[in-house]
Structure formats: C-alpha cells, structure tokens
Amino acid sequence: MNTYFGYRYEPDGRYHAADRLSGEQEMFDYLKEKKSYYQAVKITDSEDYMIAESKDGHIIFPEYMAIVDIRNESIELAEKFDPADFMKRLHGSGIQINVPVPNDPEQAEELLKRLYVHYVEGDH
C-alpha cells in the first residue's frame, strides 16, 4: 500500500504538519474533506512528488479527480441541478471549456464524460 502525506495551508501561507495517509482511497477522502476548510491542500507521495492539490475549495490536480469531484457534488449529491454552480465548480477546478452551459444533469454528465476521456485517456 502506498503512503502519502497531506499538507493543509492557511491563507497566510503557513501550513500544518503533514498528515500520513495510507492508500489512494484515504488520500481522496482526505482531499475531499479538507478542501473546504483550508486555502489549499496538497498531497505528496513518499518521495515528495505532488500527487493531488486543491485550492479555494476546488480540486485542481489531477484533472480526473477534479472531474470526479465535480460530478459527485454537482450531480450525484445535489438535491437540484444548478447550472451556475456546476460551471463555478468546473472553472474553480481550472478546467477550461468552450461549450454552452449544461441546462440539466444529463448534459452535465455528458460533458464530464467527454472531459474525463480528454484528460484521462490522453486526448489532449
């Protein structure tokens, strides 16, 4: 099992001691949990390479994690689909698109699928 380290950053740049994380699921759960409470959250591997990052409440790296997070928060967990919130989350993640705003969850889901293929399967 891989070991990761989570760093939580305050708005003034100070950061807390690293939290030790065991495995990919714990890493993703940590990032999802902490991203709303800290200016930035960074996850590194045991060799100090950046594995994941959030900023201002949005996962920004890697892109596939940002896409999964947007899907979870805007489509699956949302009581009602809000196109403006969806686009805010998408832009906050740093993912740039040049398409019309989706009007419903099905259109949003289709857009996220296309983005996932683009970022994960190397269509870029």
* 67 and 101 in a common domain: yes
**Residues 70 and 106 grouped into a single domain:** yes
Domain that holds residue 55: 3-61
Q: Which CA distances in Å does 8 have to 67, 100, 110, 113?
A: 21, 35, 33, 30
For residue range 24-60, list pLDDT tens digits in order: 999 989 999 999 999 999 999 999 999 999 999 999 9
pTM of the model: 0.84
43 & 68 share domain? no
On whether both 46 and 89 belong to a single domain, the answer is: no
Q: Tell me how many domains the chain contains.
A: 2
Does 84 lie in the same domain as 69? Answer: yes
- Whether residues 20 and 57 fall in one domain: yes
Contacts of 68-71 with C-beta under 8 Å, sequence gap 24+, read: 69/32, 69/93, 70/112, 71/109, 71/112
Q: In terms of residues, how long is the chain?
A: 124
HSE (side-chain half, CA atoms, 13 Å) at 60:
17
Please tell me whether residue 25 adopts helix, strand or coil conformation.
helix
Domain's final residue, options 61, 81, 111:
61
Helix then strand then coil, in percent of the chain rounded to 5, is 40, 25, 35
Residue 102 and residue 57 share a domain: no
Residues 57 and 70 reside in one and the same domain: no
What residue type is 1 in one-letter code? M
Query: Are residue 52 and residue 81 in the same domain, yes or no?
Result: no
Q: Distance (Å, rounded) from C-alpha 58 to C-alpha 47?
A: 25
Q: What is the pLDDT of residues 73-119, one digit of tens each?
A: 888 877 889 999 898 888 889 888 888 889 999 999 999 999 988 88
